[in-house]
Structure 1
Amino acid sequence: MKLLSETIEKDKSGELALLPEDKDDLWAIYNLIAKGDLVKIKTFRNIKKGKGKESTGSGSGGVNVRKLLLLTLRVESIEYTPSDEVMRIKGRTTEQNEDVPQGSYHTAELGLGQKVRLEKDEWDEIALDTIRSACSIEAKAEVGAVVLEEGVAHVCLLTENMTVLRNKVQKSIPKKRRGDSSQHDNALRKFIETTAESTLRNLDTDRLKAVILVSPGTTAKLLYEKIIEIATKSHNKQLLHSRGKFIVAHSSTGYLQGLEEALKTPELQKKLSDTKFQRNIILFDEFSKLLNEDQGKAWYGEEEVEKAAAVPGAIKVLMITDSLFKNDDVSRRKHYIELVDKVKESGAEVAQFSSLHDTGEQLNQLTGIAVILNYPMPDLDEDDE
């Protein structure tokens, strides 16, 4: 998503101009827009042109003309189905112009590549974080990749809809000579080392869910071995802990089409399945296991979670669905935002679940909010009295 302009005042009120570029961007905007916000958007309307004044109303006489108008709507409802790639925003106009009367109801459609301005009375931290994530390739990408062959390597970030080249490494590799391959071997060793350093510099292996290393022959395997060697020599515990994220795959070329080729194989698709939601799947599985064991370390429900949050150091992980941040009641939205901030300040992990994924749907069925505790608290469901 492109952030075209930003005007936010000290009191956190203000307006952003956004340009959605993929489905994830539309989903982010859907989660941003709340009832009562102002949306400025261009949309086509049938305008009746007669002898007198133009109007959008029905009646006898005049000719209907389709016209592109800029409407400012006070939002009353939003509809979005990801497969449609179109969001429908319903509301009343707040400004008078010659074609549309003030206070009239309209539905405007927002699609990919269409500019929209969104004005809020208050931009809270959850909304601002959503904007930062949606506008950052680094934040949106959850898979890194290096596609290479002897002498050339491409370090990339992968989002759901695009491949972004972060760096290209090129080095001349002499051919092996009969009886003497030392020049080839030395050049290849330096090339692999440079590529490994570029990989670690350009890809945040701690944050990414997977890193694919793709090449013809054994070059990708050599790169993986060099990365682990660097981690071992530098005592990089985080990188060593992330070694399971690396996937070595085969392609017929070390150029970007080789990455596309590898991504189409059933083996790699299986390994990458649920990559986007892998952490949340692991957390929900752990929560479900603890809930079944009934030892007081897993709880769901707003009251139970708030009681746990009131005890310093009690919460290990807070799990919350994005649907709770779309509550029509502004005070309820603020309540959940304050709860998330409080839990983060205590040092606990906060995992936001998407309602579009199975785990998010399951969590919604359990009130949309739950916690995994550091130690058992068996009485959270009892009345304070």
Structure 2
Amino acid sequence: MDLYNVITPGDYVTADTSRKIHREVGDTKTASRVKLSIHLKVTCRDFEKDSSTLRIHGRNLDPNGFVAVGSFHTLTLEHNKPFELRKKIWKEDAVEALHEGENNEACPDAELAVTLFQQDHAEIYLIGKGVTSMVSKIEASSMRNGGKKSSSSSANAKNVFFREVFTAFIKNVDLNKVKNAVIASEDSKKDEFRKFMISEAKRMKMRGVEENKGRIVVASSGCNGDLKELLGEGTVMNLMKDSKVGLQIRALKEVWDMVSSDSDRACYGPKSVENAKEMGAIETLLISDELYRSREVEIRKKYGCLVKAVRDSGGNALVYSSMHVMAEQLQQLTGIAAILRFPLPDLDDEN
């Protein structure tokens, strides 16, 4: 579940945590950790992409003997760690995010796993509905010893690196849950690593890899080695064509292509999108969760009404999480854009 879109400032979160306590017994000082329950009123939250954890900051409301009432504390919410969330009012967008989370529980944890080889390291990503997480980064330090190396030592260094990447992949990716896996590089490493992976899995009798090797494909990452560029590559787009994240990536790519070619079938910016909505012209709305789930009540209400109007008119509304791999590109278009049902050549954004 995308908790970042559910928990907002002003909510109340209760969770178990631990705190380091220092004690003095005579001349001896000792330190130990005690478990306690913290009840916070949320002031802000931060998502750590590398560890896929959500950090909740707020004021402690209940006395517990270790954290003073009114003092600030931080709770870290992790996968499978229980907590209690209370809101004064459950808004429609929060309920919608909860329903999305429930639907995700019956589906694989991620739509796509990507192993992306760069010049001197490899990155492993999990891409799901609204969230892109780098779950591992493996440095190829064993391949950068300097000096002239024989072909045999270079091959050994590459095998060591591949084994480290394979170990990280197995640790973070369950092919029985993830729909597809892509191995990408600008050179031959993608093909070499796929061959190594399948051979190693066979040697170690890892049925999860052997039985799903047909869903492990290779793709060119291009000269920039950029994840966003890779996701627009034909092979990868085809793998995600029926998924929500694939629909979001395709829609944003379509908007960018239309804008760059001066098409009258796309628009962006609050004023232009609002005008297009008034004309019943929006086929697909693209909006960032920073607008749709804004902390400002009036802004949240405004864009909530916009999303509802588009959907009521038979259009599609795509809400992009700030943790989505394409979020930055949508922000470059002010955080809101639309694909139109018919051309509107005189639609200009006055903002």
TM range (shorter): 0.5 to 0.7
Distance 1:143 1:65 in 2: 42
In the other structure, the counterpart of 2:268 is 300
Give the alignment partner of residue 41 of structure 1, picking from 15, 18, 21.
15
The letter for the 1-side match of 2:267 is W
Aligned in 2, Cα 1:47/1:331: closer, same or farther, shift over 3 Å? farther
Q: Which of 308, 311, 330 matches 1:344?
A: 311
Instruction: Give the structure 1 partner of residue 65 of structure 2.
Output: 98
1:280 to 248, 253, 257: 248
Aligned partner (choices 245, 248, 263) of residue 215 of structure 2: 263
Structure 1 140/131 Cα, relative in aligned 2: closer, same or farther at 3 Å?
Answer: farther
Residue aligned with 2:326, SS: helix
Matches of 1:298 and 1:99, distance apart in 2: 56
Match of 2:294 among 327, 330, 339: 327
Amino acid at match of 1:310: E
Identify the residue that residue 309 of structure 1 maps to in structure 2. 277
Give the structure 2 partner of residue 245 of structure 1. none
Moved more, 68-77 or 109-118: 109-118
Paired AA for residue 115 in structure 1: P
| Number of residue pairs matched by the alignment | 254
Q: Provide the rounded CA distance (Å) in 2 between the counterparts of 1:100 and 1:90.
A: 14
Shift of the alpha carbon at 1:161? 5.2
Partners of 2:12 and 2:87 within 8 A in 1: yes
- Equivalent residue runs for 1:112-127 within 5 Å: 112-127=79-94
User: What is the distance in 2 between the residues matched to 1:377 and 1:65?
Assistant: 67
For residues 95 and 334 of structure 1, what CA distance do their matches in structure 2 show? 32
Q: Which whole-Å deviations, capped at 9, do the CAs of 1:173-202 have from their partners, x for residues lacking one?
A: xxxxxxxxxxxxxxxxxxxxxxxxxxxxxx
Q: Quick one: distance in 1 between partners of 2:95 and 2:218?
A: 38
**Rg larger in 1 or in 2?**
1
Asked whether the equivalents of residues 355 and 364 of structure 1 are also in contact (C-alpha less than 8 Å), the reply is no
Tell me which residue corresponds to 1:71. 38
CA drift at 1:140: 5.4
1:106, distance to aligned residue in structure 2 (A): 0.7
Q: Which amino acid aligns with 2:215?
A: L
Look up the SS of the partner of 1:123 in the other structure. coil
Check conservation: 1:300, 1:370, Cα contact below 8 A: yes
1:31 corresponds to which residue?
A: 5
Q: 1:283 to 1:47 in 2, by over 3 A?
A: same
Question: What per-residue deviation string (whole Å, max 9, x for no partner) do you get for residues 83-114 of structure 1?
Answer: 12332211101223333221111112122221
Per-residue CA shift, 1:295-353, capped at 9, x if unaligned?
A: 432111112211211223x1111011233244222332232222111111111011223
**Distance in 2, Cα, partners of 1:111 & 1:382:** 42
Contact 2:3 2:54 in 1 (8 A): no
SS state of the match for residue 95, structure 1?
Answer: coil
Contact 1:134–1:140 (8 Å) recurs in 2: no
Distance 1:375 1:101 in 2: 60
- Which residue type is aligned with residue 316 of structure 1? E
Distance, in Å, in 1 between the alignment partners of 2:88 and 2:329 is 32
What is the deviation of 1:382? 6.3
TM-score (norm 1): 0.56
Q: Is the 8 A contact 2:269 2:349 kept in 1?
A: no
Cα pair distance change 1:283/1:383, threshold 3 Å: closer
**Aligned residue number for residue 75 of structure 2:** 108
Gaps of 5+ in 1: 1-24, 52-59, 145-157, 166-208, 211-251
Task: Give the distance between the partners of 2:213 and 2:340, measured in 1 at CA.
Answer: 44
Structure 2 residues without counterparts, runs of 5 or longer: 113-126, 129-171, 181-201, 221-229
| Structure 2 residue 263 is the aligned partner of structure 1 residue 289 | no
Contact 1:301 1:370 in 2 (8 A): yes
> What residue is the counterpart of 2:285 in the other structure?
318
Task: Sort the Cα spacing of 1:296 and 1:71 in 2 relative to 1 into closer, same or farther, 3 A.
Answer: same
Q: Which residue does 2:54 correspond to in 1? A: 87
d(CA) in 1 for partners of 2:99, 2:55: 24
Rate the CA distance shift 1:94–1:113 in 2: closer, same or farther, 3 A: same
Asked if structure 1 preserves the Cα contact closer than 8 Å seen for 2:268 and 2:338, the reply is yes
Amino acid at match of 1:377: L
